[in-house]
Amino acid sequence: MVEMEVLTVQLDASVNSPVVVLRELTPPARLLPILIGHPEATAISWALDQTPIPRPMTHDLLQDVIEDLGAHLRRIVVTHLHQGTFYAELTLSTDSGERVVSSRPSDAIALALRVGCPILVDEGVLEIAGVLPEEVAEAPVEVEGDVVEQFREFIDSINPDDFNPAG
């Protein structure tokens, strides 16, 4: 297992989807880009920026549930990659021992940032999907804007009547 940190969350213009980029903590500092959904990108960005939020998000709720049950999130692990999809697990410490729960990597990362636990990636995943920083600098990359800002603009532009089919 390789310990990682969240480097950034950006919008990949080529697929019009947010991507979270993990970076290996020790040399060679490989990068692992993972495509994620817009809500998860917002949750990760807000946790990174320590943005105060007026009401708890789903990941805050999950953190509270875990703690109220007397468990502790010990680590998250991006375990494997299958047909272009990344898989992850949460490792919880409970009174009855460790429990492992399957998770999407984006949810696991958002939760890990909230509780401050290690973010790990299986070496095999990094061998397949990891890239060296030099390779990224050499490749033409089209990244536009900040996902959080785009999400805020979307929220500001919606009208509650948009969600009322009878209206």
Q: Which helix (H) or strand (E) covers residue 69, if one does?
A: none
Alpha-carbon distances of 121 from 3, 46, 61, rounded to whole Å: 7, 22, 25
Encode the chain (167 residues) as per-residue pLDDT tens digits.
999 999 999 988 888 899 999 999 999 999 999 999 999 999 999 999 988 888 888 988 899 999 999 999 999 999 999 999 999 999 999 999 999 999 999 999 999 999 999 999 999 999 999 999 877 655 544 444 555 555 455 545 545 454 444 44
Please tell me the distance from the alpha carbon of residue 151 to that of residue 135, in angstroms, as a whole number: 30
Domains of the chain: 2-69+106-163 (3.10.690.10)
Give the position of tokens 């880009």.
Answer: 33
